[in-house]
Amino acid sequence: MPLASIHHVSYIYPDGTAALSDISFTIEHGEKIALIGNNGSGKSTLLYLLGALLLPSKGSISLEGIALSRTTKSALRKNVGMLFSQVEYQFIMPDCLNDVMLSIREGTKEERKEQAMQYLRHVNLDAYFNHNPLFLSSGQMKRAALASVLAKKPALLLLDEPLASLDKPSSRAVLDILTSHTIAMLFATHSRHAVESLAQRVIVLDGGCIVYDGSPKSRDAKKHFENILL
Amino acid sequence: MNAFLMAKLLTAILAFLFCAIPSQMSILHTASCLFLCAMFIYRIPGFHRTRVLILVPFIITIAGMQFLSSSQPREYHQIAVTAIKIFCTGSIVISARFFIGTEAVKWLAHALPHTAGIFLLIFLRTFHYLFRLNTMIIFQLSSRLNLASKEKYYIPKYYSIAMLYNQFRAMHLYRNGFLSRSVAEISEPEIFFSESSFDRTLVLLVIIIASLYIILHA
Ligand SMILES: Nc1ncnc2c1ncn2[C@@H]1O[C@H](COP(=O)(O)OP(=O)(O)OP(=O)(O)O)[C@@H](O)[C@H]1O
Ligand SMILES: [Mg+2]
């Protein structure tokens, strides 16, 4: 059974904008998929749907065999980790350490603290453990949010432009962190480097439809890269 | 919770009450209020001390209203008392943020029922976000308006619009960000203790002054 399946999904925003139309694909366990497309092609919308933050207007989505619906959405959210393109809205605690600890459900306080410190060390922010994440630089902030998301141990990781506003060392650091995990990932990006170093598969969106789904190495894929990626 | 953190919390409340409650203030009492308040303001680090300026428009508005509606000289004394009270209590509240820190909030969020705790944390987070936004909006407006000309008077107007608009625009971002975290419960937080000798002095001072006041009045 695939980890997630998306079956003839369409999404129309309340103001009438048709963001996605008739999308179908499946995500296997451990698969790393790049989601590319021009601005406004529906990448973020697709991620919100998989993150159970929106419900499809048509079609169905299921994760680990559970179909997404009004009644199952909060259960599904527990198994999905989401890194938004604007990460400043996803912090809850006033310092990095406690924010990561909030994502860890099991263990005594000491164990959770030790684990949280490990995640912070993993994203190279252990020196900032008592800083307010909102007052970090944007690259550090992204890594702090990533630590909290990973600490949730999600079955599926959704990343919306994880490399936007990062410099070369930080991008490399984030890519290394993502490579070191075997979690299934779907990441929207405009960076050629991210696609080439991380993706095992690429999905290309155009105007809310999938126009390519397959290996990043094929000639068709390269043609799309020319038009879309930086 | 750490005993010293609790002592700081109580100290701030005690100092607040000491300045807020008495309606007739003696010279000695006024002087001790101002002294305590100066100590609290001194506790605010660096340029954050400018936050006390927020109190000035309040004082001008409220004391101004009283002045307009008063007729006898005896009431002028009362106006001064009001102004001093607003200044002292206000600056104690502002500096309490630095004196106690966010540590007490984390502890409270854990102690309160789940929904109330989450609400408290989100509320605090929104404030931090606003302080950040405040800087950005001021920078961006300053870069687009010519501050040397009359245009600078547009700042408050555009500032309020930008602030409000940003909050409305961000509503669904707040919602998404929070829901995606799916927080089941707020488990016991890690609290970072800081114990400076200045803080210890301040706690002692407030206790001494408040007890002297109570003894003198008993
Ligand atoms: N909250 C909203 N209300 C109405 N329409 C929206 C909303 N958010 C996005 N849209 C519309 O849905 C379409 C897809 O937007 P989406 O944000 O998914 O694009 P994207 O691929 O993530 O683009 P980008 O690369 O710029 O992030 C766009 O036409 C956009 O105008
Ligand atoms: Mg987007």
Pocket residues: Cβ below 6 A from ligand 1: A 13, 15, 17, 19, 37, 39-45
pLDDT at B62 over 80: yes
> Cβ contact (<8 Å) for A77 and B179?
yes
Specify burial of residue A39 (Cβ count, 10 A radius: 0-12, 13-18, 19+): exposed
Measured distance between the N- and C-terminal CA atoms of chain B, rounded to whole angstroms: 33
- At residue A134, the pLDDT reads 87
The H or E element spanning position A61 is strand A58-63
Nearest beta carbon to residue A53 from set B128, B180, B190: B180
Name the nearest CA neighbour of B49 among B6, B98, B13, B4: B98
Q: What is the pLDDT of residue A55?
A: 92
Q: Which residues of B touch A97 (CB under 8 A)?
A: 190
Amino acid at the residue B177: G
Whole-number Å distance, alpha carbon A38 to ligand 2 midpoint, is 9
Q: Are A185 and A154 in contact (CB under 8 A)?
A: no
Distance of alpha carbon B87 from alpha carbon B34, whole angstroms: 9
Output the pLDDT for position A208. 93
| Residues of chain B contacting A105 with CB distance shorter than 8 Å | 184
Contacts of A53 in chain B (CB under 8 A): 175-176, 179-180
Question: What is the average pLDDT across B73-100?
Answer: 85
Nearest one of B96, B106, B101 to B1, comparing CA atoms? B106
Q: What is the pLDDT along chain A (230 residues), one digit of tens a residue?
A: 899 999 999 999 988 899 999 999 999 999 999 999 999 999 999 999 999 888 999 999 999 999 999 898 888 888 999 999 888 888 888 889 999 998 888 888 899 999 999 999 999 999 999 898 888 988 899 999 999 999 999 999 999 999 988 888 888 989 999 999 999 999 999 999 999 999 999 999 999 999 999 999 998 888 988 888 88
Distance B165 CA to ligand 1 centre (A): 19
| Residue B1 vs residue A36, higher pLDDT | A36
pLDDT of amino acid B56: 80
Q: Nearest to residue A202, comparing CAs of A88, A35, A46, A64? A: A35
At residue A38, what are phi and psi to the nearest 5 degrees?
A: -70, 170
Burial label, B201 (beta-carbon count in 10 A; 0-12, 13-18, 19+):
exposed
Ligand 2 center to A93 CA (angstroms)? 25
Q: Mean pLDDT across the stretch B187-212?
A: 83
What are B25-36's pLDDT values in tens digits?
A: 788 888 889 999
Distance from CA of B40 to the nearest CA of A (A): 23
State residue B136's pLDDT score. 67
Residue range B168-194, pLDDT digits in tens: 777 778 888 888 887 777 777 887 777
Residue corresponding to tokens 């296997």: A28
CB within 8 A of A182, min separation 6: which ones?
Answer: A30
**Which residues are paired to A213 by β-bridges?**
A203
* Cβ A143 vs Cβ A124: under 8 Å: yes
Give chain A's contact residues with B (Cβ, < 8 Å). Answer: 48, 51, 53, 74, 77-78, 80-82, 84, 86, 88-95, 97-98, 101-103, 105, 109, 112-113, 130, 132, 134-135, 148, 152
Distance A47 CA to ligand 2 centre (A): 9
Read off the pLDDT of residues B106-155 as tens digits, 9 standing for 90 and up.
888 888 888 888 888 888 887 777 767 766 666 666 666 666 667 667 66
Residue B46: pLDDT above 80?
no
Rounded to a whole number of angstroms, the distance from the CA of B156 to the nearest CA of chain A is 24
